Amino acid sequence: MKLEDPITVVKGVGSKTAELFEKIGVYSISDMLLYFPRTFLEFPDPVENGLFKVGNECAIRAEIISRPIVKKGKIPVVITNVTDGVTDIKLIWFRSVYIASQLKPGSSRIFYGTVVSKDGIFTMEQPRMFSEEDYVNLQKNMQPVYPLVLGLKNNTVRKTVKYILEDDGIKESLDEILPYDIVKKYGFNSIKKTYESMHFPKSKRNFADARKRLVYQEFLAFSLRLKYERSLEDDRGNGISVKNVDDIRRLEDTLPFKLTNSQKSTLDDIFNDISKEHTMRRIIQGDVGSGKTIVAFFAMAAFASNGYSSAIMAPTAVLAAQHYDSLCEFLKMTGLPYEAVLLTGSLSEKQKKDAREKLERKSPVLAVGTQALIQDKVKFKNLGLAVTDEQHRFGVRQRMNLSEKGNDTHMLYMSATPIPRTLSMILYGDLSISDMKDMPKGRLPIKTAVIDDSQRKKAYQLMMREINEGRQAYIICPLVEESELTEARDTFTYTKELKSILPSYVKIDMLHGKMSPSEKNTVMHRFARGKTDVLVSTTVVEVGVNVPNATVIMIENAERFGLSQLHQLRGRVGRGSAQSYCMLVNGSTDPKAQERLNIMHESSDGFYISEKDLALRGPGDYFGIRQSGDPSFKLADIYADSSILKDAAADAQRIVETAPDSVSELLLKLKYRVQP
């Protein structure tokens, strides 16, 4: 068996299973190896003598005391009674008649499941049953829990991975890819052992070690590519330079507001860049609402006044349309005689054709659009500047090649996720950075409070007051469903509970990542149109949601989120003119958690918060939520793994300097083995 073989070479994987694997993006053996568990199940020690907790999952050591009863019907049922020494428990299985023959009265077994009290009788439904010996074996290893799709069983994935890892051909092909000195310096385990521990770790420590190696490889590949590509670029410049921008700068005075100091100094940076010979590659970092768009418009206007076209690309059609309207207004206010052109996938064929014709024939124009702008059939006349808005949505690495539409055009990126300087210097190593730290005046700060369980009632009262005034609220839960491993709040249970607590006229909806994109869209639209009062959601609302009528956000188990993520979540409210509120429910009794969350109460400055986040973050909780969620990385978290990032960046620098010839081969190996 070889890494690049199709997954069907694995024994037992037929066309049906292969179809299911396709749905999770697994086509080859190496895809399967890179399909890591979502979490691990650790089986607890069995309890006896009535020491179980009703409502919690547990393992009970108990003796079977009655002959099983089998009720054959539409849904066959098997019932038996057991005792754990003190308490009798009724066990029920559905659709599993075969189990009756294994239930020998007088024998002792371990039963794993949730005990509930039904009509005063302790009951376990569908418990898993083990012999003492099997259970002990199970306890020795952490059991992988894979992300699944309908029809695909966890055990199928587990067995397939196991089969692959035991294959001699695979064992042989998983040879070392990192330079020896690096493996030695960090004490990394072999690649083979790393994959074993990613899927079947012996302990948390064992898993953390494996993960660390793969995170390092991700960061090394990232840093090497950045430095390598930079070294291939020439700095002779593109011959596009923009002069006489003073007239454009003076148009500031026609605006209905004064530019902030950050906006002014960012414009200085940009105009300085583009008046020179070399090609501008600059990223503007600034919180949501800091006013990045108008800075881009000024830059586009400067290009137009020198005869060059420019384009700004946004991640969604809605945002692009919004930008188009703002740009038209900007041109009107400033009295500039240039034309704005909109191009998105949601226009009619005729409109798209017209827009494309304009871009190809006319110059200068100011183009606004989505990824539709970078399709092959789109051509620009004289493109001087390419702007990518909301760069963070594409990931720190993914630079849209809008600039290739011109001849080495100037490039401007904008991101609404402030990242600490030390990290952005590495992650944006190929770019110059402008930070926009101050916000336009006159915004009402969001009132933020850190509360605990005992204040929940008051929190709901505040929420109800806002709802009764026609406002809307978000409630964020860290989990989609109840989890085997933690007691954190999940959207399903929460929504059910909330419906029984709040008055029945309050309309409550639920949103989470396990929904299909169209389901998510429907729910979000309902909320945006004010049809829903409360949206119980996971962090999927973090990006790109704009509902100005929402004035309350309540974040459950806030201690489980990174501060930067909390800051992004908080930014979902405070988008209209009304006072908004953010309530952070601290589910932990650790004084450190309280201290950390208090920073949110103290500051609304995204840069300050991200610096604190970095300073306070210890080694990541690898079983928790991946906090930064940057789509450029599969495993790595730029905050929790920041020290690994710094190491990898320094190593990459050294490799590029001392062994430049080895870089492309190393990159190839890293890409093949780590990157999906």
Nearest alpha carbon to residue 473 among 486, 457, 461: 461
Cis peptide before 364 (omega within 30 of 0): yes
Helices 154-165 and 191-199 cross at an angle (nearest 10°) of: 160
Helix (H, G, I), strand (E, B) or coil at 335: coil
Instruction: Identify whether the C-beta of residue 314 lies closer than 8 Å to the C-beta of residue 391.
Output: no
- Identify the helix (H) or strand (E) that includes residue 270: helix 261-274
Name which of 62 and 319 has its Cβ closer to ligand ADP: 319
d(CA 215, CA 648): 9
Helices 292-305 and 317-334 cross at an angle (nearest 10°) of: 60
d(CA 525, CA 432): 38
Task: Tell me if 288 contacts ligand ADP by CB under 6 A.
Answer: yes
Shortest distance (Å) from residue 543 CB to ligand ADP: 13
Shortest distance (Å) from residue 651 CB to ligand ADP: 35
Among 51-59, 70-78, 284-292, 617-625, the segment contacting ligand ADP (CB under 6 A): 284-292
Contact track, ligand ADP, 611-630, x by CB under 6 A: --------------------
Name which of 419 and 635 has its Cβ closer to ligand ADP: 419
Shortest distance (Å) from residue 572 CB to ligand ADP: 13
Candidate list 76, 169, 440, 544; residue touching ligand ADP; CB under 6 A? 440
Shortest distance (Å) from residue 604 CB to ligand ADP: 14
- The conformational region for residue 434 under phi > 0 = left, psi -120 to 50 = alpha, else beta, is beta
Kindly identify the residues of this chain, within the stretch 201-260, that bind ligand ADP according to CB under 6 A. 257-260
Instruction: Identify whether the C-beta of residue 559 lies closer than 8 Å to the C-beta of residue 486.
Output: no
Closest CB to ligand ADP: residue number: 291
Kindly identify the residues of this chain, within the stretch 395-424, that bind ligand ADP according to CB under 6 A. 416
Distant-in-sequence, close-in-space partners of 155: CB < 8 Å, separation ≥ 6: none
How many residues sit close enough to ligand ADP to count as binding (CB under 6 A)? Answer: 15
Residues linked to residue 17 through DSSP beta bridges, in sequence order: none
Shortest distance (Å) from residue 291 CB to ligand ADP: 3
Kindly identify the residues of this chain, within the stretch 294-333, that bind ligand ADP according to CB under 6 A. 294
Name which of 290 and 309 has its Cβ closer to ligand ADP: 290
Among 32-40, 196-204, 285-293, 655-663, the segment contacting ligand ADP (CB under 6 A): 285-293
**β-bridge pairing 77-83 and 57-64:** antiparallel
Candidate list 37, 113, 127, 291; residue touching ligand ADP; CB under 6 A? 291
d(CA 44, CA 82): 20
Shortest distance (Å) from residue 520 CB to ligand ADP: 23
Query: Looking at this protein, which amino acid is placed at residue 103?
Result: L
Shortest distance (Å) from residue 322 CB to ligand ADP: 8
Instruction: Identify whether the C-beta of residue 627 lies closer than 8 Å to the C-beta of residue 652.
Output: no
Name which of 177 and 251 has its Cβ closer to ligand ADP: 251
Shortest distance (Å) from residue 329 CB to ligand ADP: 9
Shortest distance (Å) from residue 626 CB to ligand ADP: 24
Sign of the dihedral defined by the CA atoms of residues 311, 315, 320, 323, in that order: negative
d(CA 456, CA 292): 37
Q: Which residues bind ligand ADP (CB under 6 A)?
A: 257-260, 263, 286, 288-294, 416, 440
